[in-house]
Structure formats: C-alpha cells, structure tokens
Chains A and B, each alone.
Chain A
Amino acid sequence: MSAPGLAELLERAEALYLDYRLGAVKEWKQRTGGLAIGYMPIYAPRELLHAQGVLPVGLMGGRDDLEIIKGDAYYQSYICHIPRSTIELGLNGSLDALDGMLFPAICDVIRNLSGIWQMQFPDKLSHYLDLPQDFDPEMGGKFYRQDLEHLSELLVQRGARPLTAEALAHSIELYNAERREVQALYELRRLQPWKVPTHELYLVLRAALVLPVEESTAMFRQYHEAVAADQARKPVDQARVVLTGSFCEQPPLGLIKTLERAGCSIVDDDFVQVHRFIRSDIPASDDPLGALVNAFLTDGMASPTRYVDRGRKGDELVQRTKACGAEGLLFCAPSFCDPALLDQPMLVRAVEAEGVPWTAFKYSENSGQFQVIREQAGTFADSIKLWSNA
C-alpha cells in the first residue's frame, strides 16, 4: 500500500501539469487580485516578483498532447519545438490569465520569441531578461541589477506593489525554503532512487511552476514525507544514471517512464531547472536585491546557456556524476537545441576522460514514440550492469 495522501497528491500534481489553461493561476488571481507573470526556462528571479505580490508562473512549452495548429506557421522545421507550442498556447487563449511574460536570455530562439511576443500581445508586459554573461559584480552584476530594477518598475506600472527590501528579504527566505525542499528530494532520490521515481518527481516539479511558493514548498515537503514513509517502495536493481541536456524544452512524461522501464534509475537530471538553478540559500542581507543578483552571478548552475570558461562545465558534470554515484550518463537533449548540442562534445570529452559510460539521444516535447530510445537506454542499462557486476 502506498502512503496516505500520496495518490491524491500525485493526482493533483498531474492535474496541474495537464492544465494548459492555468486554472490554478486564474484561481489565485481571483483570490488575491495580484498579477501573474509567466517566465520561460531556465531561470527567473521569482523572489523579486513574489516580493511585489506577483505570481511567477513557469512555462515550459507544451506536451505531446498539444496539437500545433498555428505555432508551426511561425517556425521552420529546423527550429526546436518549445517556441511553437508557446505561441500556440498564447494564441489559443491558454495564457490569457497571464499579465506578462519574461524571456530569459538563454538562446537565440527564446530571444527572438520575445520580439514576436511583443508584437502579438502588445497589451501584455513582455520583458527580455538579459541575464549577464559577465559575472563580475561591478560589471555584469551592476547591469543585471539595473535590469531587475527596471523590471520591478514595469511591474509597478502594471499595478504591482513597489519593491521593498523587507518584502524581498522575506520572499528570498520563502524561496530558500523551497530550494531546500527540492534539494532534499533530490538527495533522497540519490540515496534511495526507488523511493522517488523520476516520473513522479518530474510531475511535482512541473506542478510547482504554477503554484505560489508557499504552496509549492508544502507540496514538495508532503511528497517527500509520503514517499520516505512508503514501505511498499522497495529497492530495485537498476542502472544509476545522470540525465543531462533537458534544461529548456522538457521531455514528454512518456520518455521519462520509458527510460525507467528500460532499467535506468535517474539519480540527477536537468529537468525544470528553475527550482534548483541557484544552488544554495541566498544569504540574508541588508541589500536583498544585491544578494539576489549575487546569487545569480556566483551560485548559478553551470548550464549550457551560461558562459563558463576553460571547460569547467565538463568538470562540473563529472563531479555531479560522481557525487550521486551514477554509473552512466544520458545525454538527452531536445532536437535543434543549440546550447545543449554544442556543449555535448565538450562534455563527452570530459566524461570519457573519467571513463564514465554514456549514450546520447534527442527528443522533442511532442515525441510520441520511444521505441528506439527504449532499446538504446535498455541496452545501455544492461551493459552498465554487466560491466559493474564483472
């Protein structure tokens, strides 16, 4: 028997994940009268929005069940899938509950989407979040801080309350709490992956994107308690793998299930990275905005969308792989994802030097068939086990 409340929790998470029309966001707006602002992968300063009474809503594209009717008219076949589903959702009214959108500077496709958005939805706030690629507080930091102050001003113009240090400090605490919960779940999965199947964790991560931080933190905690207490979940003998490359366009749930069924136990991943992009607590400070900026500069993940010199990304991936005791690495990137695919040879070189087995495949958020991936991942998992048993 599974732990009490777990099934209900997962059911709710799935409902939130499946609800393109953002019912939870509408309900929140009705309740609070606040603004809701969407953001694209992979990082957004949610603390700042929250401090101004704004609900940050994570948009990670569509899923395999979204029929693309208008979105394909915007993008050629050699461009990844996420911008077309995002446009589709915008045009079919699914995102009407949002008062604006943030487009973080992660690649040229999302960058240009910000321009299309400005023109298609002129009444809504549309802000390109030009995340700095210089990480010196006096240069990139100064620039980023000005951008955030500008964003804050734009929110006020739309009716949000002005940003105060107290409110921001409080919001940072709340998001620190959420980060700790998420990290604790990842830690539990690292130690006892059978307790935290990734297809469940993924659902909870996706569901949290549309909830206010207080609720998402509680949901992570409840899920953690429920699965930790669930005695029905017994260890299984699967290959421990790290999955990397899926930081922007998210894989369909079916792909994650396919990997698990093929014998892969995912012990670290890049999914829905916004929850973990800042790796540790943002310290309390008299200047909370400075602290928020500084966290981005110094404590952000070594994502492929971030400039990291001297091949340190490879080192970091090797470290991550070792830290979670993984036996292999899955490069699982969306088709036509420039940042992920351009990084891949560099990362492969680093993990190969350490003798970590790896395999690579591509997907798109609407992939409907996984036969090839199932066979590839299955063979990979089998070979890892053979190798480790030898």
Chain B
Amino acid sequence: MRYAVGIDLGSTTTKAVVLGEDARPLGRGITNSRSNYEVACAVALAEALIDTRFSLVSRELEASGLPAAARAELLLELERQFRAEQYRSQLRELDRVVTRHSRRLLTRPASLSVVLERILARMAEEVDSLYAPGARRKSDFFRDLAGSRYLALAEDEARSSGVGFDLLAGLFDKAILEVENSAAASGRFEDHGRAAVDRMEKPDPLLQAAVDRAAATELCQIGSVGTGYGRQKLPFPEAQIRSEILCHGLGAHALFPGTRTVLDIGGQDTKAIQVDQHGIVTSFQMNDRCAAGCGRYLGYIADEMSLGLHELGPLASCSTRPVRINSTCTVFAGAELRERLSLGEKREDILAGLHRAIILRAMSLLARSGGVRDQFTFTGGVAKNNAAVSALKSLLRENYGELQVNISEDSIYTGALGASLFALRDAEGRAA
C-alpha cells in the first residue's frame, strides 16, 4: 500500500501524519521533540505507521461486516494490549540501559543493583494495572509514564535503602534518552500486534486475521514533506520542506473546508493565517521576536503555581471576577503573579485574566493579518485549554460578530496533515 507522510517538527513535539493515496489520513504519530531531530522524526513516523496498521485492522473488520460497536470494542482492546506490550518492551530496554549505566559508575553503593532490580521489577509488575481496562494515564509518552513511576519508587527506595535519590534519578535521566531514541525499543506492529492478540483470553478470530493481514501489508512511501519550526534541520531534501504557515493553512482547510481564518497558538509562536477556499494562504502574521502570549507563557505560569499545564484552564474557568493583566511578558510572569497573589487576588481570577491577556495578543495578530472571517479554526496546544477557548470565543463575538469556531480534537496534527497533503500532491505531480 502506498502512502505519503507529513512531518511537523515543533518546538515541543514532533508529529507525523500518514495519508493514503485517496488523501484520507491513515495514521498519526507524536513524540517529544528532542535534540536529535532525526530520531524524533523517525519515532513519530514509526508511531504513525503503527497507527496506520491499526487503521488497516479497522478497515478489515469493517469489511468483514462486524457492527460498529463491536468493532470499536475490539479495536480498543487491541490498542490497550498493544500499548501494554510496547510499554513492556520499552521497560526491558530501560532495565538493560540503567543496569549498564550503573555498572559504569566508579563508586557505587553496594546495594545499588539490588535497589534498581527492585524498582524495575515493581514497574514491570505494575504494567497490567497501568493498562487495565478503563485505567487513566497522564501521558502517552514512555518518558512521562515510566519517569513518574521510576522516580516515585526511587524516592521510596532512597528513604529505606540509603541509596541516594539523586544517583537513582541521574541514572534514569541518562537511560531514558537512549530508550526513547531507540526505535527498536518501541517495537514493530508485527511483534506487539500479534503478542497483544495472544494476550487476549479468547481472541476474536476476525481480529486475529485482521491483525495478521495488517501486519503483512507492505507500506510503501511515495512522498514526504517536512515542516515546523525545526524544518531547517529536518532530514529531508530542501524541495520536500514547506513552511509551517502553508501547512497549517492547508491542514486547517482539510479538517474544516469552510475555514477562512486560522489561529494557531503553539509553544513558542502564534500564527494568524488567512486562507482562500482552496486552503491556499493569502496572508499571515506571526508574533514578534518576543514569545509573550504563547503556550510557553502558560507553562511558566503553571510551574509558578505548581500546577500541571492541563489544570490551568479548568481552574481559570472557575473565576467569577477576572483580574485585568496587561503584560504577557514571560520574563515578568512570575513576579506579576506573586504580586497579585500577595495582594490577595484569587488564583482562578488571576488565571482567567492571564488567559484573556494571551487571547488579546492573538486578537491583535489576527487583526494584523487581515481580521477574522467565517469560518474560524483554532489550532495548537492552547486550543485544548477551555479557558483560552472561551476567552477567544467571547472576544471574537464582540469584535467580529457571530461566526463558526472550529476546534478539532486532532488540532495538534494540523501542520503535519497539511504537510502530508503537500507530499501527496508532490508525488502525484511527479507521477503526472
């Protein structure tokens, strides 16, 4: 089967979207962007290809006439088992690498190897519960999942065994880099897919057959396009690189064909893009040198308040009297916050003000780019934040009247989706 792929190398995450020849998305993959962009691209692509094979499984099941509900259930179960398998495989790699690093230490506590063994054994035991049906995980990244468990267990061990916590944490930090950069550790669909089916008590024969067929399908890349802020560093020839502006415009058009204005608030930049009815960019503006008002700003605020990034929006939504904040300067964010708190302002009211301030910056960028036209599509990490979304919606209404605001669950893939469409077009252009 032939596919085109788009890769969006962002400042925080790298995304890949795999597209079939019919221009329908087949698979998506995401991973942390790291210092090694090549690896980030490879991992994102590998993930997207795994996801593609899931799509193939789904299509097989559909073709076999299974009702939608039953199909969804089977797929969910397959994915759960698959991810658990993948996690186990990465855990084994982590074990191997941590052990190797610990042996290299010049001076090491006598009990170190026993302690490490205990920690990793506990983590292996926990896999079933971590991936139990209905269990909630804080992240999809191995680094985050394994990291939080390892460090928690290490803390306990440090208290009871006398092996220093810093030593244990340092070993993890070293090892995780290698593990997450190892495509082998995250494994192939063929291996984990079959193992996942085997783990099921009574695997459905239809599923079994579908997995076998999906695993056996040959995937053949016919085109690729890279984009994103790190695109200069992408392992692609120059002709296969497109600016993230164009990719975002086309991606948003693909998600919502009625899109005329796109706002993307990412980690380090904000983009306001105007597109025509074909998704072609007609004008755009990006934030100036200063990163004030970007997603990163919310990150600082979350750190300052010792909250998770995802907790900011819900807390801000509880506000009854938002505080007016005029500065979205990242450098002063901490000081401003502390001063407000010391004045007795409520956390939720300050947060509501901060969200509004960020959206105000975006509003001026939108105005610079030519205003807002119906339909309006909001993408990027901040589009997941409900407080930001509601501030945006009310400002849009006040300034541009009623219009349709589109936010996709998959908005983080917008740039990669646009890139994949360019890749497919390029491939078709070459074929023609």
Looking at the complex, which of A67-75, A185-193, A282-290 is the stretch in contact with chain B?
A: A67-75
Chain A residues with CB below 8 A from B395, complex form: 69
Chain A residues with CB below 8 A from B283, complex form: none
B336, CB-defined interface residue at 8 Å: yes
Please determine whether A76 and B364 come into contact, CB atoms closer than 8 angstroms: no
Chain B residues with CB below 8 A from A225, complex form: none
B327, CB-defined interface residue at 8 Å: yes
Please determine whether A368 and B324 come into contact, CB atoms closer than 8 angstroms: yes
Chain B residues with CB below 8 A from A67, complex form: 324, 360
B22, CB-defined interface residue at 8 Å: no
Query: B1 CB to closest chain A CB, in angstroms?
Result: 47
Which residue in chain A gives the minimum CB-CB distance to B292?
Answer: A77
Which residue in chain A gives the minimum CB-CB distance to B366?
Answer: A73
- Residues from 327 to 372 in B contacting A, C-beta threshold 8 Å: 327, 332, 335-336, 339-340, 360-361, 363-368
Complex partner residue of A369 from B336, B398, B399, CB under 8 angstroms: B336
Given the complex of chains A and B, what is the CA–CA distance between A263 and B415 in angstroms? 55
Q: Beyond A68-B360, A68-B364, is A77–B288 a contact (Cβ under 8 Å)?
A: yes
Query: A46 CB to closest chain B CB, in angstroms?
Result: 32
- Residues from 21 to 67 in A contacting B, C-beta threshold 8 Å: 64-65, 67
Which residue in chain B gives the minimum CB-CB distance to A75?
Answer: B364
Query: A82 CB to closest chain B CB, in angstroms?
Result: 14
Please determine whether B288 and A371 come into contact, CB atoms closer than 8 angstroms: no
Chain A residues with CB below 8 A from B327, complex form: 367-369
A366, CB-defined interface residue at 8 Å: yes
Given the complex of chains A and B, what is the CA–CA distance between A64 and B363 in angstroms? 19
Chain A residues with CB below 8 A from B360, complex form: 67-69, 72
B221, CB-defined interface residue at 8 Å: no
- Residues from 275 to 334 in B contacting A, C-beta threshold 8 Å: 288-290, 324-327, 332
Complex partner residue of B363 from A69, A76, A368, A371, CB under 8 angstroms: A69
Chain A residues with CB below 8 A from B364, complex form: 68-73
Q: Beyond A369-B335, A371-B339, is A77–B290 a contact (Cβ under 8 Å)?
A: yes
Given the complex of chains A and B, what is the CA–CA distance between A369 and B335 in angstroms? 9
Chain B residues with CB below 8 A from A68, complex form: 360, 364
Given the complex of chains A and B, what is the CA–CA distance between A64 and B339 in angstroms? 17
Chain B residues with CB below 8 A from A76, complex form: 288
Q: Beyond A369-B335, A369-B336, A371-B335, is A69–B326 a contact (Cβ under 8 Å)?
A: no
Q: Beyond A68-B360, A77-B290, is A368–B335 a contact (Cβ under 8 Å)?
A: no
Complex partner residue of B326 from A73, A77, A368, A372, CB under 8 angstroms: A368
Q: Beyond A69-B395, A72-B364, is A368–B325 a contact (Cβ under 8 Å)?
A: yes
Query: Which of A67, A69, A70, A73 has the most chain B CB atoms inside 10 A of its CB?
Result: A73
Please determine whether B324 and A65 come into contact, CB atoms closer than 8 angstroms: yes
Chain A residues with CB below 8 A from B368, complex form: 73
Given the complex of chains A and B, what is the CA–CA distance between A73 and B364 in angstroms? 5
Given the complex of chains A and B, what is the CA–CA distance between A64 and B398 in angstroms? 21
Query: A24 CB to closest chain B CB, in angstroms?
Result: 25
Please determine whether A367 and B326 come into contact, CB atoms closer than 8 angstroms: yes
Chain A residues with CB below 8 A from B288, complex form: 76-77
Given the complex of chains A and B, what is the CA–CA distance between A65 and B364 in angstroms? 17
Query: A257 CB to closest chain B CB, in angstroms?
Result: 14
Please determine whether A73 and B367 come into contact, CB atoms closer than 8 angstroms: yes
Given the complex of chains A and B, what is the CA–CA distance between A207 and B366 in angstroms? 35
Query: A270 CB to closest chain B CB, in angstroms?
Result: 23
Which residue in chain A gives the minimum CB-CB distance to B398?
Answer: A69
Chain B residues with CB below 8 A from A65, complex form: 324
Which residue in chain B gives the minimum CB-CB distance to A84?
Answer: B364
Given the complex of chains A and B, what is the CA–CA distance between A369 and B353 in angstroms? 14
Given the complex of chains A and B, what is the CA–CA distance between A371 and B342 in angstroms? 11
Given the complex of chains A and B, what is the CA–CA distance between A97 and B25 in angstroms? 56
Please determine whether A70 and B367 come into contact, CB atoms closer than 8 angstroms: yes
Chain A residues with CB below 8 A from B324, complex form: 64-65, 67, 368
Given the complex of chains A and B, what is the CA–CA distance between A372 and B339 in angstroms? 10
Mark each residue of chain B from 362 to 402: 1 if its CB lies under 8 Å from any CB of chain A, else 0: 01111110000000000000000000000000010011000
21 contacts between A and B (CB under 8 A): A64-B324, A64-B326, A67-B324, A68-B360, A68-B364, A69-B364, A69-B367, A72-B361, A72-B363, A73-B365, A73-B366, A76-B288, A77-B288, A77-B290, A366-B326, A367-B326, A367-B327, A368-B326, A368-B327, A369-B339, A372-B335
What 10 pairs between A and B have smallest CB-CB spacing? A73-B367, A72-B364, A366-B326, A368-B326, A73-B364, A73-B368, A371-B339, A77-B288, A369-B339, A369-B336
Partner-B contacts on A (CB < 8 A): 64-65, 67-73, 76-77, 366-369, 371-372
Known: A69-B367, A369-B336. 6 other contacts (CB 8 A): A68-B364, A72-B360, A76-B288, A77-B289, A369-B327, A369-B335
